[in-house]
Amino acid sequence: MQHPMHHALFFHGETLHLMPSGALYWPARKTLTVSDLHLGKSERLARRGGALLPPYETQATLEKLDRDLDHTRAETVICLGDSFDDLAAPNGIGESSRLWLTRLMAGKSWTWITGNHDPGPIDLGGTHRAELRLLPFTFRHIAETAETAEISGHYHPKARLAGQSRPCFLADARRLILPAYGAYTGGLRCEDPVLTGLMAKDALAILTGPRVLAIPMPR
């Protein structure tokens, strides 16, 4: 199903839908991709004596994922790493959240890509991989300099428009970087040398929010 507010990106011969939520939908493969959910972040910070965040971040992220799965009717889900804030987080998110996630996963082909926050398997089912190739694309957590047709996450890119900072996708002819999907995840400004070094001069920033908007990537 097509979202009326998404941005359609023609990328290596495939049409991808960049959604207002920060999710990526690939209609031809009925595949939904999300990155950097960081489930359990507020619990981890509290556990480690850090700053206290509102304890609703896992619920807010799962609600958004539930909506996107319901809307797209995706049959395959790829989580691009840092799905959990650390390896203890799956046990710290609470039984209701675990059950909710289990329900979302039911009947779907579900792949957890390992990230730097969650480098090992978790006991919630699904398949665990360092990267996943679904031709023509390679899905991984962190972009690799020489790669093409690559879809990744990790950097939580953000861009400013009219004085407001919004999570964004970054796209050029070779790669696509997804924004962080999780609530309270922070971000890295597009002008950061790490991102300007990765993306081509003509890269686009596709801002998420109520209206998906493509602009030249700020530098």
What are the domain boundaries of the chain?
7-216
- Judge contact between 200 and 167, C-beta under 8 A: no
Neighbours of 188 (CB within 10 A): 14
Which SS3 state, helix, strand or coil, does residue 192 take? Answer: coil
pTM of the model: 0.89
- At the second CATH level, the architecture of 7-216 is 4-Layer Sandwich (3.60)
Tens-digit pLDDT profile for residues 180-217: 998 767 789 999 999 999 999 999 999 998 889 999 99
Identify which of 89, 88, 92, 132 has the alpha carbon closest to the alpha carbon of residue 110. 132
Q: How many helices (H) and strands (E) does the chain have?
A: 5, 16
pLDDT in tens, 33-88: 999 988 865 444 444 455 545 556 788 899 999 999 999 999 999 999 888 755 55
CA atoms within 13 A on the CB side of 42: 15
CA angle 208, 213, 219 (to 5 degrees): 90
